[in-house]
Amino acid sequence: MINLCFHGIGTPPRGLPAEEAAYWVGADTFRRVLDQVVDRPDVGLTFDDGNTSDVTVALPELVDRGRVAEFFVIAGRLGNTGSLSADDVRGLHGARMGIGSHGMHHRVWRKLSPADRHEELVVARNRLEEVLHEPVSAAACPLGRYDRATLTALRRLRYARVYTSDRALARPGTWRQARFSLRAGDTADDVAVWLRHGDRYTVRAADAARTFVKGLR
Ligand SMILES: [Zn+2]
């Protein structure tokens, strides 16, 4: 299967860090991509960062097409301007969407101190579980970065699935799930190529080696 990763949809709000704005796609592009995957149960849909466009744009379009998706929320931003509120997260969940953790502060999960790792992997998840009154078992690594210590900690904390941004096909049910993130310049046609030829990315030995090494550092 192939997992896609969206961030904000529409025009990024002023003041959003450039490295986040670079991943926003237009609503038209978003709708065209969704239309391509309506009959593709092998395409997983995920949304990172918990922007309000998750509920104002993505949710109605998903519901219209009878699709579910998984939303990775930044716990420390709940209720902030431009970010989902606790009610929004409950609304997504009530609409059968999955909710996972994207940590507390959207910082890279590599080389964290034990205290910071606890905040990112334990406290953030607890906060989301308090919002949902349900266990949260999936995580997405902020900025797609991780190292061996991160993966070890995530396994020890019994996360059931961990999403990366490694641009490779994913095997259904495996613990580490690679994703293709859309960037601001990507078009629906670009995504169509990934959907048709995603397997070509996995056979590129250099990419596979890079992904493997990332998990070892
Ligand atoms: Zn993110």
Q: How many CB atoms lie within 10 A of CB 39?
A: 9
pLDDT tens-digit series, residues 195-204: 987 655 544 5
DSSP characters for 37-84? HTT-TTEEEEEES-BTHIIIIIHHHHHHTT---EEEE-GGGTTSTTB-
Cα 71 to ligand 1 centroid, rounded to whole Å: 11
Exposure on the CB side of residue 11, measured as CA atoms within 13 A: 2
pTM for the predicted model, two decimal places: 0.91
SS3 159: coil
**pLDDT confidence of residue 203:** 42
Letter string b/e over residues 159-186, b meaning 16 or more CB atoms within 10 A of that residue's CB: bebbbbbbbbbbeeeeebbbbbbbeeeb
**pLDDT confidence of residue 210:** 66
Domains of the chain: 2-214 (3.20.20.370)
Cα 57 to ligand 1 centroid, rounded to whole Å: 18
Cα 203 to ligand 1 centroid, rounded to whole Å: 27
DSSP characters for 166-180? --S---TT-SEE--E
Q: Is the pLDDT of residue 206 over 60?
A: no
Give me the mean pLDDT over the 15-21 stretch.
90
Q: Is the pLDDT of residue 164 over 70?
A: yes
pLDDT band at 15 (very low <50, low <70, confident <90, very high): confident
Cα 6 to ligand 1 centroid, rounded to whole Å: 9
Q: What percent of the chain has pLDDT over 90?
A: 85
pLDDT tens-digit series, residues 30-75: 999 999 999 999 999 999 999 999 999 999 999 999 999 999 999 9
Q: For the chain, what is the mean pLDDT?
A: 93
Cα 214 to ligand 1 centroid, rounded to whole Å: 18
